[in-house]
Amino acid sequence: MSHILAIDQGTTSSRAIIFDADMQVKAVSQEEFPQHFPDSGWVEHDPDDLWSTTAGTCRAVIERAGLRPGDIAAIGITNQRETTLVWDKTTAKPIYNAIVWQDRRTAEFCRGLRKSGKDTQITERTGLLADPYFSGTKLKWILDHVDGSRERAAKGELLFGTVDSYLIWKLTGGESHVTDATNAARTMLYDIHKGRWSSTICDLFDIPMEMLPEVKDSAADFGMTRADLFGSPLPILGVAGDQQAATIGQACFEPGMLKSTYGTGCFALLNTGSEAVTSKNRLLTTIAYQFDGKPTYALEGSIFVAGAVVQWLRDGLKMIRDAPETQPLAEKADENQDVILVPAFVGLGAPYWDADCRGAVYGLTRNSGPAEFAKAALESVGYQTRDLLEAMHADWQSDAAGATLRVDGGMSASDWSMQFLSDILGAAVDRPKVLETTALGAAWLAGQRAGVYPDMQGFAETWALDQTFEPKMSDEERDRKYAAWKRAVKATMSV
């Protein structure tokens, strides 16, 4: 009983990872699933894909690790946040595809909220902006467009959940309709100050509160899995949204500690402790984690397209065959060309929050080719990160804020990308030895609840540095390049 099974259900794939008693990775299983784009700016997942890949990778990783179910002390779950599902309480069958966090179909409704001034009460209660990114307007859209769904929801026949809730419902055979505070905080329906669902916002969106899950701490009893899934029941003891799980996995437990995760998108979180800081720079106030009923808050900046820009080079433009090719390509790029890519494929996130603008490329010449595109793609992630950190420093003015940035996620493995990030920030960037920080955070939540892993302080002491990237770019070059980026963003948003 010294192993932990971490489920990491992401935007493009589901993964299951076994961690041993020393919190080291013992085995990994991963499976990609299709993305669905039924209309411009719409992004959906087939819920059956989310479930089948999750269950399949869990079974595979237990076998790969050579374990029996009895060797596993607990399950921890981390998940893509904001992605919205509604399912039948009796049959567990979803009534519509999962609407993904990247989806922008509710942009017009959000504009109406802002015009009417109703967005203020949303921000005051939830710490979020009135944007299609979050679950609340996606849920409203499903209830508005699936015949009879609102009436069925009011009767208690339908349930809402983010991906964690849906997976737990399936894992427990319908015994647990729950979520944790970090996922609830991303729905636009949860009052992060009072720690409960907001009847005011649910009334505004005409959402029956009967369909909302019970909200628990990030480390809690979320239920037992069905015995037939893995051979014997396993307790689910830890849950956190992916970015909060990465914050935990990076041991960012002290106010002022900052992490940035580079996956499909990029998400930076600054721990602000017991204080829920209200942003004046269009950042989000959110819950970093919650223990014993007490939330720890964070400022968050969200970039919609980070690793996804590399996928675009691969799948859209066919310029590369796999992601690692971008680094050697970028190294070959013509230094005399200032190609800037603004990857607003599904709008721009923080601090701009422009749901309608779309991607653009500037500075192309006759000699621009795959190398210049690769360099511009990788640089776009660094520029967007600087946008976030400048806003954070303005909101939470402290010498401790962002002194060093801890990074993780797939793109953090690229030395070229992390060196450019350090250069454009003018700050040190620390990459840990364990890049599986999101899954590690979920594993630690479950493991410490199960008594297998150390407490918060003991866990923080295990964090190990792989490499620190120090800025090498001159101040003049840094300022010139960032000014060009800002001009490109302004031009893109004005179209």
Q: What is the 3-state secondary structure (H, E, C) of 316-350?
A: HCCCCCCHHHHHHHHHHCCCCCCCEEECCECEECC
Q: To which residue do tokens 């909200």 refer?
A: 215
Running DSSP on this structure, what letter comes out for residue 19?
Answer: E
Count CB-CB contacts under 10 A for residue 1.
12
The sign one gets for the Cα dihedral 252, 255, 260, 261 is positive
Running DSSP on this structure, what letter comes out for residue 279?
Answer: P
Residues 6 or more apart from 68 whose CB is under 8 A from it?
A: 62, 231
Please report, for residues 44, 192, 220, 289, 386, the alpha-carbon distance to residue 292 in angstroms, rounded to integers and kept in the order given: 35, 15, 9, 10, 34
- How far apart are alpha carbons 359 and 357 in whole angstroms? 7
Q: Which amino acid is at 494?
A: S
Using pLDDT thresholds of 50, 70 and 90, give the confidence band for residue 400.
very low
- How far apart are alpha carbons 462 and 432 in whole angstroms? 11
Question: What is the 3-state composition of the chain as percent helix, strand, coil, each rounded to the nearest 5?
Answer: 40, 25, 40
Report the SS3 class of residue 293: coil
Q: Which amino acid is at 152?
A: R
Q: Across 13-166, where does the E strand assignment appear?
A: 13-19, 25-32, 44-45, 72-79, 85-88, 98-99, 158-161
Q: To which residue do tokens 């390509």 refer?
A: 329
| Mean pLDDT on 347-352 | 83
Q: Which amino acid is at 107?
A: A
Q: What is the DSSP string of 238-266?
A: EEEEHHHHHHHHTT--STT-EEEEESSSE
Closest among 275, 270, 278, 274 to 298, alpha carbons compared: 270
CB 469 within 8 A of CB 414: no
pLDDT in tens, 432-456: 988 788 999 999 999 999 999 999 9
Q: What is the DSSP string of 134-187?
A: SHHHHHHHHHHHSTTHHHHHHTT-EEEE-HHHHHHHHHTTTS--EEEHHHHTTS
Buried/exposed 197-212: b ≥16 CB within 10 Å, e otherwise: bbeebbebbebbeebb
Q: What pTM, to 2 d.p., does this model score?
A: 0.86
- How far apart are alpha carbons 123 and 117 in whole angstroms? 11
Residue 208 confidence (pLDDT):
94
Residues 6 or more apart from 378 whose CB is under 8 A from it?
A: 310, 326, 327, 330, 414, 416, 417, 420
Using pLDDT thresholds of 50, 70 and 90, give the confidence band for residue 413.
confident
The answer to which of 68-77, 102-111, 258-267, 390-399 has the lowest mean pLDDT is: 390-399
- How far apart are alpha carbons 326 and 319 in whole angstroms? 9
Please report, for residues 306, 385, 467, the alpha-carbon distance to residue 471 in angstroms, rounded to integers and kept in the order given: 21, 15, 13
Task: Please name the helix (run of DSSP H) or strand (run of DSSP E) that holds residue 63, with its range, or none.
Answer: helix 47-64
Domains of the chain: 3-242 (3.30.420.40), 252-432+464-495 (3.30.420.40)
Using pLDDT thresholds of 50, 70 and 90, give the confidence band for residue 399.
low
From the number of C-beta atoms within 10 Å of its C-beta (0-12, 13-18, 19+), residue 22 rates as exposed
Q: Residue 403: is its pLDDT beyond 80?
A: no
Q: Residue 402: is its pLDDT beyond 50?
A: no
Q: Residue 285: is its pLDDT beyond 90?
A: yes
- How far apart are alpha carbons 288 and 281 in whole angstroms? 19
Closest among 316, 325, 277, 317 to 297, alpha carbons compared: 277
pLDDT in tens, 5-51: 999 999 889 999 999 999 999 999 999 999 999 998 899 999 999 99
Residue 202 confidence (pLDDT):
96
